[in-house]
Amino acid sequence: MVSRQAAGPYDAALTPEDLAGLRENLYEQRLFRREQLRQFAARSTSRACDAHGPSGPGQSEVRVQLVASARMVLADVEAALARMDAGTYGTCHLCRRPVERERLLIVPQARYCGRCQQVREAAR
C-alpha cells in the first residue's frame, strides 16, 4: 500500500463534482470578464463623445492595462473550458502530470502544475 505522503500531490484526482463546480466557476468568470470588457468599451465610447475630451494619460494607460488583463484572463478561462470539452483539463502543459486538485480549486484556469509554474516564474 502506498502512503499518502509518499504518493505526493498528484494522487488526488478531480471528482465529477469537482469538475462540475470548476466548470460552473469558469462559466461565471467568463460572464464576468465579458461584461467587464463590454463596460470598458462602453466607457471609452462615451468618453470619446464627451465634450470634455478623454481622461488624463495616466488613467488612459491604466484602462488599457485593465482591458489587456481582462482579455488575457478571458482567453485563459475559455482555453480551460476547451480543455474540459477535449478531456485534457487538469493536465500540466509542460510535464503532463496532473495539476494539483487544490491548485485547480483556487485557479481553475491553471495550465501548469505548481512545480512547473514555479519554474516558469523563476525563469522570468
Pair 109, 29: CB distance under 8 Å: yes
- Closest C-alpha to 119, from 83, 92, 90, 79: 92
In angstroms, rounded to a whole number, what is the distance separating the alpha carbons of residues 24 and 71? 19
Higher pLDDT, 47 or 23: 23
pLDDT tens sequence across 52-99: 455 566 788 888 999 999 999 999 999 999 999 999 999 999 999 999
Q: What is the mean pLDDT of residues 4-14?
A: 51
* Each residue's pLDDT tens digit, 26-39: 999 999 999 999 99
Q: How far apart are alpha carbons 90 and 101 in whole angstroms?
A: 8
Q: Is the pLDDT of residue 8 over 60?
A: no
pLDDT value for 2: 32
pLDDT at 44: 77
> With 60 as the cut, is the pLDDT of residue 9 above it?
no
**How far is CA 42 from its chain centroid?**
24
Indicate if the pLDDT at residue 3 is higher than 90: no
* Max CA distance (Å), the chain: 74
